[in-house]
Amino acid sequence: MSKHKGIHFEVSERKVLLRVFDILIVLLALELIGYYFQFDYFLVTKEQWLWSLILGCYLTVFGTIFELYDLKQSSKLDSTFKNIVITVSVTVLFYLFTPIITPVLPDHRIEILYFYLAIIIAVFIWRYAYVTFITSPRFYKKVIVLGEVSNIENLVNAFTTSDPNYRIIGYINSNISSNESVKFKGLKEFSAGNLQKTIREEGVSEIVIAINDSETITPYIYNELTHLLDKGLTIREYTQVFEEITKRVPVQFVGKDFYKYFPFSRSNQNKLYLLYHRLMDIVCSVLGILFGIILLPFIVIGNLIGNTGKLFYIQTRVGKNGRPFKIYKFRTMIQDAEKDGMKWADKNDIRVTVFGRFLRRSRLDEIPQFLNVLKGDMSIIGPRPERPLFVKELSKVIPFYETRHTIKPGLSGWAQVNTRYGSSIEDSLVKLQYDLYYIKHRSFFLDVNIIVKTLSTMVYYRGQ
């Protein structure tokens, strides 16, 4: 085993670390400001513990909405600084204007400025330290992949783009009968005959097995892996790591033993969870319809100017258990957009009008679907419903595609908040991976996570 094995924080640990230290550093900064400058607007005392709790909640909620806890963005100072400014500004604004649960405005208005600057400077100092130390190479998890050469590029790209601290430093070809070498920039190929020496010298803390058929592992490699496992080295299978890091189910690698990958969430049969889900659907759809009624005059005017056609658009989609239903949307394309036949909408589709593009980016075109949710055809959260023809085509080329119809389709979903617009089979595969992850792990907390990420999508104008 390596004597130089470094410290590595897992994804969940880093997210907790960011949240906890954000709150602690802010409370410490306010305490210091109050002590040195007689700043008494905010004091962390036993009598005022509720104010500290409210401030911490605001910071966490708005930090999540404005992507302050996105690990990829948190590893870069430019995006981190932007997110800090937005998060702290909104947090302070809400804190100042909710005096029922927070302190009343101070007599001296300059204290508001002190309050704001203390928070933003404190968070920035801590995040600068995080980027400098925690995301530095000394905290990388160094990984070697043992597997088949054909999978290497997709594997490396999926891991490195999902976790900046998860570094695949090398590859070992498990197929000893093949002379094919790894042709992937920046990745070193190691010999299977020196596995223990490589682990020791490179400071490797994990081996990922990327082999479709475990029977192809040679007795020598098997014995080496067993020996390393006895010494405490982490050895994991590729699909397990893929799902954990990317939050997707690697459906393209699922074969006849699919039941190992789809132990679907108990929430799918949990009566209490299903009741909560339906109540959430009803409450959110009623609020959404009321919100839509308020915006309707503005959307009508925009449609008359920018779309010059029918306001509503009705289309057949596939729902739960493959049942078709009619979906309602505000029209975003020109009239007769499919006169030449049905086709996927491209990212910059010329059929989309200027006003329609605004509706799509802001997701306001989805407002009429609250009627579908209220009727029970859809849910607030679930896989996005697709058109019957596309479902038929995709089911032929993507394994387990129709599995996404085991639950109600949703107004928003895990795929929608994690991917951009999809207009190809490859994009549909990625979206399916996210949808299956949601079906497999759906829970109250995952639902809340999707709602918050949906707000981020709307705030940053990333709708599809």
- pLDDT tens digits for range 108-120: 778 888 889 999 9
Q: What is the CA radius of gyration of the chain?
A: 26
Query: How many independent structural domains does the chain possess?
Result: 3
Query: Of 118, 134, 150, which residue constitutes the final position of a domain?
Result: 134
**pLDDT tens track for 230-263:** 888 889 888 888 888 888 888 877 766 666 666 6
> Are residues 100 and 147 both part of a single domain?
no
**pLDDT tens track for 168-207:** 888 887 765 555 566 666 678 888 888 888 888 888 889 9
> Are residues 300 and 376 both part of a single domain?
yes
User: Shortest CA distance to 246 belongs to which of 463, 383, 83, 431?
Assistant: 431
* In the predicted structure, residue 377 carries a pLDDT above the cut 90: yes
> Are residues 239 and 194 both part of a single domain?
yes
- Per mean pLDDT, which of 139-153, 211-225, 379-393 is the most reliable? 379-393
Write out the two tokens for 387.
């058109």
Query: Of 85, 118, 134, which residue constitutes the final position of a domain?
Result: 134
Alpha-helical segments (H) within 66-109: 71-74, 77-96
Beta strand pairing status for 324-330 and 379-381?
Answer: unpaired
Of residues 165 and 118, the one with the higher pLDDT is 118
Kindly give, in sequence order, each residue whose CB lies less than 8 Å from that of residue 128, ignoring residues fewer than 6 positions away: 77
> Are residues 279 and 372 both part of a single domain?
yes
Quote the domain boundaries for residue 285. 266-459
- Under a CB-based contact definition with an 8 Å cutoff, are residues 37 and 114 in contact? yes
> Are residues 26 and 106 both part of a single domain?
yes
Q: Which of 115-119, 214-218, 268-272, 358-362 has the lowest mean pLDDT?
A: 214-218
Q: Is residue 435 part of a domain?
A: yes
Q: Is residue 144 part of a domain?
A: yes
pLDDT confidence band for 90 (50 / 70 / 90): very high
Distance CA 352, CA 182 (A): 43
CATH at 188 = 3.40.50.720
Kindly give, in sequence order, each residue whose CB lies less than 8 Å from that of residue 400, ignoring residues fewer than 6 positions away: 251, 254, 258, 262, 432, 436
> Are residues 74 and 153 both part of a single domain?
no
pLDDT of residue 196: 86
> Are residues 316 and 379 both part of a single domain?
yes
Q: Is residue 25 part of a domain?
A: yes
Neighbouring-strand partners of residue 147: 173, 210
Distance CA 263, CA 399 (A): 17
Beta strand pairing status for 188-190 and 234-237?
Answer: unpaired
> In a 3-state reduction of DSSP, which class is residue 257?
coil
Amino acid at 273: Y
Provide mean pLDDT across the span 283-302: 94
Distance CA 181, CA 175 (A): 10
**pLDDT tens track for 115-136:** 899 999 999 999 999 988 888 7
User: Shortest CA distance to 164 belongs to which of 189, 139, 186, 127?
Assistant: 139
> Are residues 194 and 161 both part of a single domain?
yes
> Are residues 106 and 145 both part of a single domain?
no
Distance CA 211, CA 149 (A): 10
Q: Is residue 2 part of a domain?
A: no
pLDDT confidence band for 211 (50 / 70 / 90): confident
> Are residues 443 and 307 both part of a single domain?
yes
Q: Is residue 153 part of a domain?
A: yes
Of residues 306 and 124, the one with the higher pLDDT is 124
Q: Is residue 253 part of a domain?
A: no
> Are residues 207 and 297 both part of a single domain?
no
Q: Is residue 5 part of a domain?
A: no
Task: Give this prediction's pTM.
Answer: 0.81
> Are residues 232 and 315 both part of a single domain?
no
Query: Of 82, 114, 134, which residue constitutes the final position of a domain?
Result: 134
Kindly give, in sequence order, each residue whose CB lies less than 8 Å from that of residue 429, ignoring residues fewer than 6 positions away: 251, 252, 398
- Quote the mean pLDDT of the chain: 83
The residue whose two tokens read 């289309």 is 315
Distance CA 418, CA 430 (A): 10
Phi, psi (degrees; rounded to nearest 5) at 141: -90, 115
Phi, psi (degrees; rounded to nearest 5) at 387: -75, 145
Distance CA 256, CA 55 (A): 51
> In a 3-state reduction of DSSP, which class is residue 380?
strand
Write out the two tokens for 144.
């070697």
Amino acid at 155: L
> In a 3-state reduction of DSSP, which class is residue 352?
strand
The dihedral sign for the CA sequence 451, 452, 454, 455? positive
Q: Is residue 413 part of a domain?
A: yes
* In the predicted structure, residue 28 carries a pLDDT above the cut 80: yes
